[in-house]
Amino acid sequence: MEYEYVGYTVDRRVVKGRITADSEKSAGDALLRDGYQILNVKPITPFLTGVPSFMKPKVKPEDVVMFSRQLALLLESGVGIVQSLDLLRAQSVSKNFSAMLAKVVTDLRAGLPLSIALEKHPGAFSKMFCKIIAVGEQTGQLESVLRNLAGYSEQSTAAVRKVKQATTYPVVVLVLAILVAILMVTFILPPILAVFKNLGGNLPVITQILIWGISFATSYGIYIFIVIGLAGVVGYLYSRTPEGAYQKDALLLRLPVLGRLILLNTLSRICRSITLLFRSGLPLPDILTLTADSAGNKVIAKALMDVEQDIIKGEALASAMRKKLVFLPLMVEMIRVGEETGNLDSTLTVVSDSFEIEAADKLQTLLGLIEPAMTVAIGLVVGFLALSIFVPIYSTVSMVGGGG
């Protein structure tokens, strides 16, 4: 059960917060052990219970970045781990993240290490994040590890944000164009075309094509929509299977322009992951396992696992990666140099920066292709509709004028 408390610290600073415990007494005892003097403890009765998980707000990557930086700062200032987490929980603006930290604090009070407590919340903390935290706990460098994790997470989040910002405008334009086309075909054009039919005579071919298209959509549109919807559901369910996910990711990598962009972004993230894990002191096989788990692409993840097996057999990282086409020559060559010079982390950082720059250029190229293509497509559709409507109107006016 969750309890709300008010207390003060040794330096007479008032603190408020929440704690999960079996009873009010257990909550008070736990707070006393953490160095708090308790003024009040009372149970919290939620207004609504049993909210479905899909309705709960998700933890944002920005919350994890801020959590890592602030926790590192508090630990460096000499604040205890439990008290630090309690303070971060109390000041978090995300209710979902605050509730998650409350559970982490409860687990810490029960004697679990921080890495194990965080592993219970994979929606916020990845396997790689928890593994690096475990290394920091074992080596006594938790503050440094947290700062490195914050920097890594921030760079990854920034890359994703750039892609979203760059693709927002084309997506909005496309959606608006589709909505306008649906409105015209459904509500605006049918009455106009009905007038043309009543006028009699031979309608232009372009107008007859439009009438046929609208009639077909009116008669069979619902069935087409159902078929497309079912195909989408089947495709989605298949993509959730191991084989389907692998095939989907393989297809994405083969797409023109977009495939190269996906590959560059994934490899850049992999280079940064390997750098972070390497600096944490993990052995190379463990590094590749964790990197594969967080790769985000099944094809590249499988390639990393194959590389791991070759390394276990005694092969060098660069020569093992050279066998896989998904690892670009620049990455393989720089890894070879890094292995020979003992600066693998530094060379991978250079590779990651290079891939991010190329990915940004590819993204701009892709957007440069999409925007003119959308403009041309929308212009063709508008021109077709305009001709379909105005040609018969002009013909009718000419006939009337000529008859007069």
pLDDT in tens, 203-231: 778 878 877 877 787 788 788 889 999 99
Share of the chain above pLDDT 90, in %: 13
Confidence of residue 53 (pLDDT cuts 50, 70, 90): very low
**Domain span(s) for CATH 1.20.81.30 in the chain:** 2-125, 168-404
pLDDT in tens, 370-397: 778 878 888 888 788 778 777 777 766 6
Distance of CA 261 to the CA centre of its chain: 16
pLDDT at 58: 67
What number does CATH give the domain 2-125? 1.20.81.30
pLDDT in tens, 317-368: 999 999 999 999 999 999 999 999 988 888 998 998 898 888 888 887 777 7
pLDDT in tens, 260-288: 888 998 898 888 888 888 887 888 888 88
Confidence of residue 54 (pLDDT cuts 50, 70, 90): very low
Q: Residue range 161-177: average pLDDT?
A: 75
Classify domain 168-404 at the CATH superfamily level. Answer: Type II secretion system (T2SS), domain F (1.20.81.30)
pLDDT in tens, 240-265: 888 888 999 999 899 887 888 889 98
